[in-house]
Amino acid sequence: MDAPNLIAKVIDDAPLDDAVLDAIALSACADGVTNVEIVALLKMARQLPTLRDLPHDEIDARVQASFARLNDDGLEGRMRKLAEAANDAAARRRLFGAAVVMQYADGNVSDAENEFLLDFADALGLREAEARAIVDEVEREIASSS
């Protein structure tokens, strides 16, 4: 799966702001943070269409800042702040879509990761049908790229 391009598609090629990076970091940490996940996220961020032309140091700093915000706020607190900052339905869908892609990036969605997605959708105020439609879209994109 080409996670960077799938994230770009899910967020409608909107500029990749820190909120989207935070949603990706949250998703990566849903079942605990490991150095492997941090390295994977750094590599993926460097390949994202809206970031790939930036210097690696700048991308790395943005990703590290996302993890720092997550560390400072905790998973629930960061989730709540992202939901509060998402000022419209499109922003909420972009954040959730980016998180879904991150969960599917390794090809296996654990129970803890699935629970995170349910909690994140709820925090964002997405109806179950909206969240399911986003997950279905990601699954279709993955299936069509296989």
**CB within 8 A of 38, min separation 6: which ones?**
28, 63, 67
Higher-pLDDT residue of 27 and 50 is 27
Provide the pLDDT confidence category of residue 10 given band limits of 50, 70 and 90.
Answer: low
Closest CA to 14 of 128, 80, 97, 115: 97
pLDDT, tens digit, for every residue of 93-125?
999 999 998 888 777 788 888 999 999 999 999
Contact in structure between 46 and 16 (CB atoms under 8 Å): no
**pTM confidence score:** 0.85
Contact in structure between 48 and 7 (CB atoms under 8 Å): yes
- Domain covering 3-145, topology: TerB-like (1.10.3680)
Closest CA to 92 of 83, 81, 100, 101: 83
Q: Domain residues of the chain, as ranges?
A: 3-145
